[in-house]
Chains A and B, each alone.
Chain A
Amino acid sequence: MAGSVHIGGVARVVATNAALVLIAELRAKHGPILFHQSGGCCDGSSAMCYRQDEFLTGSDDVRLGEIGGAPFHMSRPQFDYWRHTQLIIDVVPGTGGMFSLENGTGRRFLTRSRIFTNAEATSLEAASVTC
Chain B
Amino acid sequence: MPDGAIRPLAETAPDGFSFKTRYDNFIGGRFVSPVKGAYFGNVTPITGQVYTEIARSTEEDINLALDAAHGAAERWGRTAVAERAAMLNRIADVMEQNLALLAYAETVDNGKPIRETKAADIPLAIDHFRYFAACVRAQEGSLSQIDDTTVAYHFQEPLGVVGQIIPWNFPILMAAWKLAPAIAAGNAVVIKPAEQTPASIMVLMELIADILPPGVLNVVNGFGLEAGKPLASSKRIAKIAFTGETTTGRLIMQYASHNLIPVTLELGGKSPNIFFADVCNEDDAFFNKAIEGFVLFALNQGEVCTCPSRALIQESIYDRFMERALARVKAIRQGNPLDTATMIGAQASSEQVEKIMSYFDIGRQEGAEVLTGGARARLGGELAEGFYIEPTVFRGHNRMRVFQEEIFGPVVSVTTFRNEDEALGIANDTLYGLGAGVWTRDGSRAYRFGREIRAGRVWTNCYHLYPAHAAFGGYKQSGIGRETHKMMLDHYQQTKNMLVSYSPNALGFF
Query: Do A41 and B268 contact each other (CB < 8 Å), given the known contacts A85-B401, A101-B225, A103-B225?
Result: yes
The chain B residue with its CB closest to the CB of A115 is B365
The CA of A100 and the CA of B167, in the complex, are separated in Å by: 15
The CA of A48 and the CA of B43, in the complex, are separated in Å by: 23
A103, B223: Cβ atoms closer than 8 Å: yes
The chain A residue with its CB closest to the CB of B247 is A38
The CA of A41 and the CA of B434, in the complex, are separated in Å by: 11
A40, B358: Cβ atoms closer than 8 Å: no
The chain A residue with its CB closest to the CB of B366 is A115
The CA of A54 and the CA of B407, in the complex, are separated in Å by: 27
B432, A98: Cβ atoms closer than 8 Å: no
The CA of A46 and the CA of B267, in the complex, are separated in Å by: 13
**Chain A 13-45, CB within 8 Å of chain B: the 1/0 string?**
000000000000000000000001111111111
B245, A40: Cβ atoms closer than 8 Å: yes
Q: Of A41, A45, A50, A85, which is in contact with the most chain B CB atoms at under 10 Å from its CB? A: A41
Q: Of B228, B229, B247, B305, which is in contact with the most chain A CB atoms at under 10 Å from its CB? A: B247
Number of A-B contacts (CB under 8 A): 161
Q: Which of B248-256, B332-340, B417-425 contacts A (4 or more CB under 8 A)?
A: B248-256
The CA of A30 and the CA of B45, in the complex, are separated in Å by: 32
A104, B248: Cβ atoms closer than 8 Å: no
**Chain B 356-393, CB within 8 Å of chain A: the 1/0 string?**
00110110011000000000000000000000000000
List A residues 42-79 near B (Cβ within 8 Å): 42-46, 48, 50, 54-56, 75, 77-78
Closest chain B CB from A76 CB (angstroms): 11
Query: Do A94 and B406 contact each other (CB < 8 Å), given the known contacts A99-B228, A99-B251?
Result: no
B431, A97: Cβ atoms closer than 8 Å: no
Chain A interface residues toward B at CB < 8 A: 36-46, 48, 50, 54-56, 75, 77-78, 81-82, 85, 92-101, 103-104, 108, 110-115
Q: What would be 15 A-B contacts, judged by CB atoms less than 8 Å apart? A: A41-B167, A41-B305, A41-B408, A45-B405, A45-B407, A55-B254, A81-B404, A95-B43, A96-B196, A96-B349, A97-B225, A98-B244, A108-B351, A112-B358, A113-B365
Given contacts A42-B168, A44-B405, A45-B408, 19 further A-B contacts (CB under 8 A): A36-B247, A38-B247, A39-B477, A40-B246, A41-B267, A41-B305, A41-B408, A42-B194, A42-B244, A44-B267, A44-B406, A44-B408, A94-B350, A94-B354, A98-B244, A98-B245, A99-B251, A112-B358, A114-B365
